[in-house]
Chain A
Amino acid sequence: MKVMRMSDELFLKRAAEEDGCMISAVGLQPLHAKKAESGQQLGEPIRFAFSTLISYRRRALRMTMEDVAQKAKVELDELLEIEENLSYVPEVRTVHRLADLLKLPIPQLLVLSGNAKAATAELTEAAVRFAARSRAVEKLNPEQSNALNEFVKVLVEQKGKETVKK
């Protein structure tokens, strides 16, 4: 059972400040609803799919971040940026090394990492679907494993389809 971190005294103070005021907030455009639009506007979910894919694949192969950094000859700092910083675009060389180690198709990984544009909407839609189904938890449950397997299947099926360099 989680313990509440805010003390009762502080809660009473903050609740008195709230004093029955409106607290309404609204997200008008859920990200997955944008999938009909062009891939360019889907940057964050696609980049999130890339981070999540690297993280899930690493964990599915039972590797630590240190293992991946060492075996792929990638700096640990960079791997952290890849998994956690959604605005970080890794070097093409890094993407190649990760693709080799994690056995993922290079062209599709270049698209997801922000280094190339997808030639078809299929990959971006699959990435958005995968991102929407993913949650960052330590151990993959069967549902997450299925999501990973389905997404990797789409990536592999996309192999051979052209990507357009940025």
Chain B
Amino acid sequence: MSSRRKSRLKRAGKNELAPADIVDGLSKEELLATHLDWQPDRLEALKGLLDAKEPWPEHWHWDWSKKAGLLDFMAYRCIGIECEGRMQGLMMASTLARSSRVGPTGRAVLYVEYIESAPWNLKDLVDEPKFSGVGIALLEAAIELSEEEGFGGRIALHSLPQSEAFYRKYMTDMGPDQSHEGLCYFEMSAEQARLFLEGGK
């Protein structure tokens, strides 16, 4: 059963916060409901990109409904951020610890299997995105989950090319990983996690 805790998002284009909820432990049904909610906006944006002869984002072949099967395993947790009645972003993390490749190697890290923002929050897809900070709020939740699991706030993920600049600000870029189709592997150490949450250099 999912649980909620307070979070926030930034209204795009304004220096203003909107109250939001981190929804932890989403069920398959909630995941599918979000997928269905996002689909019309995805298709609309896709149509616009096709009309403009623009390439579409590389993660569009993702189907969260296909990822729902992972939730049969206790080790997978799906976390969403909800604002104004709609899910604004989704993340699935594996608590099946992997070894860190940064700093003291071999320490357990929380691996983020998937992360995505709702289509209406992406400026590549819509002229006026609704909310910003979905990635920040979900990374914050991932760090908290890592701490809760005893992984010291360490997290890791493989970024799609168009998202690398975002992760490079806060995580160590370990470069292309040939075992993951050449996607860049990023890792956040315990110290980077602390700096991410508390600021400072």
Contacts and interface: CB of A to CB of B under 8 A. Distances in A.
B65 to A, nearest CB: 15
Max chain B Cβ within 10 angstroms of own Cβ: one of A5, A21, A86, A147: A21
Contact of A87 (B15, B74, B105, B186): B105
Interface residues of B, number: 73
Interface string A54-88: 00000000000000000000000000000011111
Q: Classify chain A: how many residues form its interface, as a range.
A: 35 or more
Interface stretch (A101-109, A116-124, A131-139): A131-139
A76 B112 CA distance: 31
B180 interface: yes
A1 interface: yes
Interface in B83-106: 89, 94-99, 105-106
Counting chain B CB atoms within 10 Å of each CB, which of A2, A44, A134 scores highest? A2
Contacts of B74: 132-135, 143, 147
B142 to A, nearest CB: 10
Given A15-B9, A18-B132, A20-B123, A132 B73 contact: yes
Interface of A: 1-2, 4-8, 10-12, 14-32, 44-45, 48, 51, 84-88, 131-137, 143, 147
15 contacts: A1-B5, A5-B197, A8-B8, A14-B133, A18-B132, A20-B121, A21-B135, A22-B163, A23-B138, A24-B115, A29-B179, A31-B96, A85-B107, A132-B96, A136-B97
